[in-house]
Amino acid sequence: MLIEAIAVAMGLNAEGGNKNTGFATEQTHSELDRYIKTVKSFKRPKDYYFLRAESFYNVATYLDQLMPPPLQGYGGQSLHHQSHGESFMATISNKLRGNGLYIMDEPEAALSPARQMVALSEIHRLVEDGSQFIIATHSPILLAYPRAKIYQFSDSGIYETAYEDTEHYEITRNFLNRHQQMMKILMDEE
């Protein structure tokens, strides 16, 4: 809900896309954006994009209805004619131009671990080009970005945490280091 509110407060569509993406499948987003105050800086992004996993199909449909794929800026092919992961990577690699503010809600949803590493490399390229990312993720791969500020949301509040202290890192590490034991526990075979 917070990531959506930030995107809407920045003038982006609640379902995703850039500032020119104007459609609504359902008016289901929260009103939290009304309570967020954005602060302007001397450094203003030249590019904006909200990549939202759960409604990306709707963005692809909107784009195909609006203009032919070569004009969309996603690599020349309709996002619907690619796998979910390929369409996410086409967005990250082709649509995000740099010097931007990019908001992502669970981008790992469509990406294999190998593609998450490719996405991490693309994110780094864009950061080096003056971009900033706000990402809501459960992926220990994406969380590993070296200069990331990681905020943990819990019942006791919001706090900054180290990568190795995130629940996603700890669970993944424990599973990978003890996968046979974990499978016995999970399959109730112990």
- In order, the DSSP letters of 102-164 are EEEE-GGGG--HHHHHHHHHHHHHHHHTT-EEEEE---HHHHT-TTPPEEEEETTEEEEE-GG
Q: Is 69 helix (H, G, I), strand (E, B) or coil?
A: helix
For residue range 150-166, what is the model confidence (pLDDT) as tens digits?
A: 999 889 999 999 999 99
pLDDT tens for each residue of 59-87:
999 999 988 888 888 999 999 999 999 99
Residues of the chain with pLDDT under 70: 190
Indicate whether this model's pTM tops 0.75.
yes
Which residues are bridge partners to 72 per DSSP? Answer: none
